[in-house]
């Protein structure tokens, strides 16, 4: 029997992070961030989310960006079948802008920024909608998601990332998909699939990501030792 699949969105995003082809993954559940008021550490966030999402053991966790980092932390407290990291990392040092974002989120009034972004969306859609490239569509969708996210959680997560111990469990199945031009999270030295894109490949290259994961799932189900 195939393990269930749970898709964890990036920070400031929601299940719209996984649109279109992502719905083709068998037995998948799209997660959203629940309201969170706890302390800002990765272990605490992981324990809270595991309970809130009611994650079963031996599932496949797919995480984009921060969602992949959290998936790694969840694997420390839950037995998982595999982790699939999309534009994500197992080490905090690869998140290049953590320190900058910590400073910015402490200074900027995030709720005001969100309100301004909501007001600017019609203008941006009018400008970029004339020739909607995949990147432009992904940026617009990201702005829309961020403008509705929980500002306090968004702010506190960068503190959590800055103290994260990372993930070094070499016994957990780990699948890495990364954009060669990702400037936010450095591409790993080795990945299962490199794509010609940036940090938003979960949206700009959804078809390529899903096709690869489907192939990997078929291989994984037929032979536990298959490397895909």
Residue, of 206 and 99, whose pLDDT is higher: 206
Q: Residue 172 belongs to a domain with what CATH number?
A: 3.40.50.1820
Say if 215 falls within a structural domain: yes
* Domain total in the chain: 1
- For 6-28, how does the pLDDT look when each residue is reduced to its tens digit (9 = 90+)? 999 999 999 999 999 999 999 99
Dist CA 226 CA 228 (whole Å) = 6
Q: Are 9 and 17 in contact (CB under 8 A)?
A: yes
Say if 87 falls within a structural domain: yes
Dist CA 43 CA 66 (whole Å) = 14
Say if 197 falls within a structural domain: yes
Provide, for the chain, the percentages of residues in helix, strand and coil under a 3-state DSSP scheme, each rounded to the nearest 5.
45, 15, 40
Say if 133 falls within a structural domain: no
Query: What is the strand order of the sheet 174-179 is part of?
Result: 28-30, 5-8, 59-64, 80-86, 174-179, 193-195
pTM reported for the whole predicted model: 0.91
Structural domain that includes position 47? 5-97+165-222
Q: 225 pLDDT band (50/70/90 cuts)?
A: low
What pLDDT was estimated at residue 222? 81
- For 85-143, how does the pLDDT look when each residue is reduced to its tens digit (9 = 90+)? 999 999 999 998 887 887 888 888 888 998 998 888 888 777 766 667 888 889 889 99
Asked if the model's pLDDT at residue 38 lies above 60, the reply is yes
Say if 12 falls within a structural domain: yes
Q: Are 25 and 209 in contact (CB under 8 A)?
A: no
Say if 72 falls within a structural domain: yes
Say if 130 falls within a structural domain: no
Dist CA 1 CA 205 (whole Å) = 29
């Amino acid at each position: 029997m195939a393990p269930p699949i749970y898709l964890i969105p990036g920070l400031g995003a929601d299940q719209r992070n996984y649109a279109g082809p992502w719905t083709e993954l068998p037995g998948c559940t799209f997660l959203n961030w629940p309201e969170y008021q706890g302390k800002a550490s990765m272990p605490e966030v992981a324990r809270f989310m595991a309970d809130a999402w009611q994650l079963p053991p031996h599932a496949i966790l797919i995480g984009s960006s921060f969602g992949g980092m959290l998936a790694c932390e969840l694997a420390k407290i839950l037995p998982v079948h595999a982790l699939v990291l999309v534009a994500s990392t197992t080490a905090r040092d690869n998140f290049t802008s953590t320190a900058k974002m910590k400073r910015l989120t402490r200074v900027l009034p995030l709720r005001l920024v969100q309100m301004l972004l909501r007001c600017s969306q019609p203008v941006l859609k009018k400008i970029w909608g004339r020739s909607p490239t995949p990147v432009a569509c992904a940026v617009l969708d990201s702005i829309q998601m961020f403008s509705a996210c929980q500002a306090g959680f968004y702010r506190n997560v960068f503190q959590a990332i800055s103290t994260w111990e990372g993930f070094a469990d070499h016994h957990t199945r780990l699948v890495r998909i990364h954009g060669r031009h990702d400037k936010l999270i450095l591409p790993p030295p080795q990945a299962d699939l490199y794509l010609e894109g940036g940090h938003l490949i979960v949206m700009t290259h959804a078809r390529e990501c899903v096709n690869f994961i489907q192939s990997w799932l078929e291989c994984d189900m037929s032979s536990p030792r298959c490397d895909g």
